Amino acid sequence: QKEVEQNSGPLSVPEGAIASLNCTYSDRGSQSFFWYRQYSGKSPELIMSIYSNGDKEDGRFTAQLNKASQYVSLLIRDSQPSDSATYLCAVKLTGGGNKLTFGTGTQLKVEL
């Protein structure tokens, strides 16, 4: 089993819709979770972090964490074409020190 799993997509949503991106992880003791956005040909940039069960909202973005089920998700409301990118889930595994383990990413396409 991969340590951090994401559906590679592409996930296509119409403009204005809610995009839902999911990530599961194998280490039950993990405490820190991050979402990075990577535009084609660019480097990843951090958009959300979440540490506690429940929802965390930042503008159009909402991160959701369920440690019992070992999944973390990212919702993007009112999706815009500029949201088209690859979204990387990253988890700080137990005993990993400074190490983040990344998923392969989900490609999101927001269509006009």
Distances (CA, A) of 12 to 21, 25, 80, 83, 112: 11, 24, 12, 11, 11
Q: Which residue lies nearer to other proteins by CB, 54 or 97?
A: 97
Q: Which residue lies nearer to other proteins by CB, 5 or 20?
A: 5
The CB-based long-range contact list for 39-43 (8 Å cut-off, 24+ gap) reads 39/85, 39/86, 40/85, 40/86
- Which residues of this protein are in contact with other proteins, per CB under 8 A? 4, 8, 32, 34, 36, 42-46, 49, 88, 90, 92, 97-105
Least spacing, CB of residue 71 vs other proteins, in Å: 17
Q: Which residue lies nearer to other proteins by CB, 17 or 100?
A: 100
